[in-house]
Structure 1
Amino acid sequence: MLVHEFLERSADRLPDKIALVSDGQRLSYAQVEAQANRLANALRAEGVQRGDRVAFFLPNSLELAIGIFAALKAGAVFVPINHTTKLDKCAYILNNCQARVLITLGRQARLVEQLLPIVLSLKTVILTSPGEVNSFNYLGYDAIQADYSEQRPSKVNIDLDLACLIYTSGSTGDPKGVMSDHSNVVFAANSITEYLGNVESDIVLGVLPLSFDYGLYQLLMVFKFGGTLVLEKGFTFPAAILKRITEEKVTGFPAVPTIFTVLLQLDLSPYDLSSLRYITNTAAALPPSHIAELRAKFPTVTLFSMYGLTETKRTLYLPPDQLEHRPGSVGLPIPGTEAWVEDESGNRLPPGAVGELVVRGRHVMRGYWQDPVRTALRFRLNTIGDRLCYTGDLFRMDEDGYFYFVARQDDMIKSRGEKVAPKEVENALYGLNGVKEAAVIGVADPVFGQAVKAFVVTDHPDLTESEVLLYCRTHLEDFMVPKYVEFCSELPKTSTGKIKKTDLK
């Protein structure tokens, strides 16, 4: 199966059903299919060939959602770039993937003018809205919709062809393009919708950027099972999003820890959230204290705590009936996959031991685009030729096979001869009344080697460093207690809502 067949099969089966709600518009599956076909035919007319890269520099929008399927229908590989990305990084990504087409907003015309002389692979620019353009030729999205056929293009791909390149945030270096073929994406979407129990009546809220794989898969999965996606620009205005949940009778709400932190501070009583069936979390593990608070705030809603990374899409999920018994776990391998913990010599470790998480399954991506060195480090073959993903994350497993995140390998703090997992300290801090957000890093120390430093965001202005340290001494082993505590008004975050510890360092 090919990824764009998610849309095509739903359009054939449910042509009049509302597929996409965004920007004040409501499009049926038939309308989305027609627009995607017109854009795909325009791309082919512009010379796009099988495997060419089509880049999108757009916020969440109808045109981005439709364009992703159009690129696939044309036989191309889609490359979503976060719309807040600056010129240098945008140029790096476009040059790295040798993009042939760039689709962006008219108001980004000035950026396009700067990109064209330094991204020589670009042959076509499509603008989704009017703009002041004098220096380059472009196609308008509206003109394409008026001029091109809505006939479905013939298929040219097989499921081993690339579907997309998702660029990682690059917080520790140049961004890497994770290569996902159609079979990777189809398997991951099937597996995730299986354990979520998605049905056609599900209405899913999309507030995460489609340039982020977690946000992207909401679009792909909804179109696979024939539901409705309510696509928003983001979570900047929580009250408006809560109102949207009420208005659209949303049943599924995927989010990340930073969004849940905001939700837990709000009075939800003015909003009718009774339509919600499930909420999901990934990107970073939720502290057990937040899980308890979410369950109290949403007593009738099923919470899925999950773990994944771009290189495998999704890896682990905690069955909701285990939340009470294992609130610190991110669960079991998703259906159809295998995971285990290895030491540095490649030996599988028994329950309780800490080592690197290794993943095996059809969702293990193809590697990094034009980067054989980093591909070889992360993706390795086993003795029968299966591609394994070495995640770079430290985990332990309990006797029943449930996994617990410990730390990123490069985040571990070595203090006073002991190894400190920042996540363990952060989880303790979240248990202190008044702590909204916490991040822990290691800083150079002449005596300890590294000292533990905590950054804390609080909504209790009277909370003191002494109170934080006393609480930590009560709940943590001595070597884990922070030496330093710094109060912040906010913590730096990536475009996908993760706390960006490299900026703290």
Structure 2
Amino acid sequence: MSINSIRTLLEDSAVSHPSKTAIVFNEKSISYEDLLKKVNQVAFYLKELDLPKGSRIGLYSNKGIDQVIAILSILSTDYILVPLTRLLKPEQVQYIINDCDIKCIITDRLKLESIEEIDFNGHIISYETAHKDIPSFEEIYKYYNKPFKHDVNGHENAVITYSFGITGQPKGIVISHRNLIDSARVVSQYLELREEDVISGTLIFNLDYGLNQIFCSLYKRATLALHRFILAGDFYNHLINDKVTVVPLMPVNISNMFDEDEHRLPSSDLLSNVRVLTSSGGNVTVKMLKGLDKLFPDAKFYSMHGLTEAFRSTYLDPSQIHIRPDSIGKAIPDVELYVINEEGKECKPREVGELIHRGGYIYRGFWNAPVETAQRFKSIQILKDVIDLEGQLTDEIVVATGDYVYKDEEGYFYFVSRHDNMIKTRGFRVSPYEIESVVANNLPQIEQCAIFSVPNEEIEEEIVMVYSSRSELAPKEITFELKKHLASYMIPSKIIYKKSLPLVPSDKNKINKEELKNELLEK
């Protein structure tokens, strides 16, 4: 058995901590010993399907203990897990099925109806018994009790994740078994996770940040407490009742935590178990940090920056979060980061360039997408003018991230924009992210803000700001505040108020700027 597989972690956990609670969800829980038993039963059934090695198995369901069992069962075979978030519409699920040729889908009773709308002729397995022709986990647990063994190779493909954006069709990123182990190891190290920790499983399991909750729990023999974030009050009950100590979040979760009236928020004493908070996937505002400080005064907050093509690049040490809250931090262990300009030269401090990721946690590439893979996964020769390659193997792969960043004099990195999102106006490159950050930090009455551009022959592109708030603000008031913090060429020429902003259907963390832009251009 490979030492670089989640399967090995699961087996070792069942031997060393058989009776310890592995997963808890509401009133249900399962020990490490019973978790391995159920994973073995489902994995045995999957192997009996006799699919070709490397076949893709989709997971399309709501959160629960059976969902984690399904994930670990697929990773115990030589099949590949393809998470299909429950937020996806049937046509998006259909796209992924076709793109990576999914042979089997594991689902729940609620999602069976959606699958019936899809053109899928492969195997379907449900958690609950729902139809006489569809096998279920309930039946598998009852009838499949034969021993299961499988030697997982750490270098084999384990997972393909898809993320639907605003435009275009997504490409699946291929992740190996070793990638999963490496990510659990490094996060457990710099977060200083412990065996006695209870890790909140609030994030959905469609991308690596969410899946990492499961793997870190296994790596440290900790307990994973699952939760579906719907209402802020229920989330706080989860933290209190499950005695959660580690809370991975996204900025949208942090915002939703403070949807409650202030007088209905719990006291910090009730949340004193929480010792670690993490966030990735977007900007954490000063307002969010103030709220977290009040609720979790003794917890360490880690702001992190990840990639599609590699598990993670940076984290900001908690001691720096109030000193430089806009920074994405420094490289995580085993990673080297460089900022280069268009000529391939290393950028000076505060000069914006592309972030290059070298070292650990680099994924395998994009599924069936050689052009996209070639754009991001580069030979180390891209750094020939930055580091000394003499005597080094020159077939090493690095990631040209497409992230525009700069580094300050102390070596801290700051995100500016994605390459594809940069606005070119009046001869300058402008980051929408930078303007949105200024709005978030200096205009607290604005609830949501989207910055994008529309064509303008005279200045190349014209900057537009669309925002939502409880009531409309005078454009001059907004412009006056922005001019205090931004260069004149960065000030939006159009400022538009809307009661609410449209979101990307498959990702409620993202404002649908494409829809806003189309609305404006059609007028």
Q: Aligned residue for 2:464?
A: 453
Unaligned regions of 5+ residues in structure 2, if any? 382-393, 518-523
Q: Aligned residue for 1:412?
A: 422
Classify the secondary structure of the residue corresponding to 1:429: helix
CA deviations on 1:20-47 (whole Å, 9 max, x unpaired) are 1125311111111111110000011111
Kindly indicate whether the alpha-carbon contact (under 8 Å) linking 1:107 and 1:130 is maintained by their aligned counterparts in 2. Answer: no
Of the three residues 163, 167, 171, the one matched with 2:166 is 171
Residues 342/103 of structure 1: CA separation in 2 closer, same or farther (3 Å cut)? same
33-42 or 14-23: bigger deviation:
14-23
State the one-letter code of the partner of 1:473. K
Classify the secondary structure of the residue corresponding to 1:452: strand
CA deviations on 1:86-123 (whole Å, 9 max, x unpaired) are 222211111221222111123433433343xx445x2x
Of the three residues 437, 440, 454, the one matched with 1:443 is 454
35-44 or 353-362: bigger deviation:
353-362
1:7 Cα deviation after fit: 1.9
| Cα root mean square deviation, aligned | 2.0
Aligned pairs (5 A) from 1:314-333: 314-333=312-331
Q: Equivalents in 2 of 1:487, 1:31: separation in Å?
A: 54
Q: Equivalents in 1 of 2:90, 2:168: separation in Å?
A: 16
Aligned pairs (5 A) from 1:147-162: 147-149=143-145, 151-155=147-151, 157-162=152-157
Kindly indicate whether the alpha-carbon contact (under 8 Å) linking 1:49 and 1:74 is maintained by their aligned counterparts in 2. Answer: no
Aligned pairs (5 A) from 1:290-329: 290-329=288-327
CA deviations on 1:52-105 (whole Å, 9 max, x unpaired) are 211101122211111111011122111110112122221111122122211112
Q: Equivalents in 2 of 1:27, 1:358: separation in Å?
A: 42
Residues 391/273 of structure 1: CA separation in 2 closer, same or farther (3 Å cut)? same
Q: Aligned residue for 1:127?
A: 126
Q: Equivalents in 2 of 1:433, 1:88: separation in Å?
A: 38
Q: Equivalents in 1 of 2:146, 2:22: separation in Å?
A: 18
2:245 corresponds to 1:251: yes
Q: Aligned residue for 1:434?
A: 445
Residues 433/444 of structure 1: CA separation in 2 closer, same or farther (3 Å cut)? same
1:265 Cα deviation after fit: 4.7
Q: Aligned residue for 2:39?
A: 36
TM superposition score normalised by structure 1: 0.93
Of the three residues 172, 178, 181, the one matched with 1:183 is 178
Residues 479/78 of structure 1: CA separation in 2 closer, same or farther (3 Å cut)? same
CA deviations on 1:119-142 (whole Å, 9 max, x unpaired) are 45x2x21011243x48xx321110
State the one-letter code of the partner of 2:343. S
Of the three residues 497, 504, 510, the one matched with 1:487 is 497
Q: Aligned residue for 1:241?
A: 235
Residues 273/150 of structure 1: CA separation in 2 closer, same or farther (3 Å cut)? farther
Q: Equivalents in 2 of 1:228, 1:42: separation in Å?
A: 27
State the one-letter code of the partner of 2:368. Q
Q: Aligned residue for 1:109?
A: 112
Kindly indicate whether the alpha-carbon contact (under 8 Å) linking 1:166 and 1:310 is maintained by their aligned counterparts in 2. Answer: no
Q: Aligned residue for 1:478?
A: 488
Aligned pairs (5 A) from 1:369-448: 369-383=367-381, 384-430=394-440, 431-448=442-459
Kindly indicate whether the alpha-carbon contact (under 8 Å) linking 1:14 and 1:226 is maintained by their aligned counterparts in 2. Answer: yes
302-311 or 45-54: bigger deviation:
45-54
1:162 Cα deviation after fit: 0.6
53-62 or 490-499: bigger deviation:
490-499
Residues 462/187 of structure 1: CA separation in 2 closer, same or farther (3 Å cut)? same
Q: Aligned residue for 1:262?
A: 256
Q: Equivalents in 1 of 2:467, 2:141: separation in Å?
A: 50
State the one-letter code of the partner of 1:56. L
Of the three residues 275, 279, 282, the one matched with 2:280 is 282
State the one-letter code of the partner of 1:42. Y
TM superposition score normalised by structure 2: 0.90
Kindly indicate whether the alpha-carbon contact (under 8 Å) linking 2:423 and 2:452 is maintained by their aligned counterparts in 1. Answer: yes
State the one-letter code of the partner of 1:499. I
CA deviations on 1:351-377 (whole Å, 9 max, x unpaired) are 211111111123110001111111111
Residues 112/426 of structure 1: CA separation in 2 closer, same or farther (3 Å cut)? closer
Residues 248/154 of structure 1: CA separation in 2 closer, same or farther (3 Å cut)? same
Q: Equivalents in 1 of 2:278, 2:107: separation in Å?
A: 30
State the one-letter code of the partner of 2:150. S
Kindly indicate whether the alpha-carbon contact (under 8 Å) linking 1:393 and 1:408 is maintained by their aligned counterparts in 2. Answer: yes
Q: Aligned residue for 2:62?
A: 59
Kindly indicate whether the alpha-carbon contact (under 8 Å) linking 2:125 and 2:135 is maintained by their aligned counterparts in 1. Answer: yes
State the one-letter code of the partner of 1:21. V
Q: Equivalents in 2 of 1:64, 1:354: separation in Å?
A: 42
Classify the secondary structure of the residue corresponding to 2:444: coil
Q: Equivalents in 1 of 2:66, 2:104: separation in Å?
A: 15
Classify the secondary structure of the residue corresponding to 2:333: coil
Q: Aligned residue for 1:48?
A: 51
State the one-letter code of the partner of 1:211. N
Number of equivalenced pairs? 495
1:289 Cα deviation after fit: 4.7
1:307 Cα deviation after fit: 0.4
Classify the secondary structure of the residue corresponding to 1:393: strand
Classify the secondary structure of the residue corresponding to 1:404: strand
Classify the secondary structure of the residue corresponding to 2:271: coil
State the one-letter code of the partner of 1:109. L
169-178 or 238-247: bigger deviation:
169-178
**Percent of counterpart pairs with the same letter?**
29
1:439 Cα deviation after fit: 2.2
State the one-letter code of the partner of 2:460. G
CA deviations on 1:273-321 (whole Å, 9 max, x unpaired) are 1111111111112234533443344321111011002321211100111
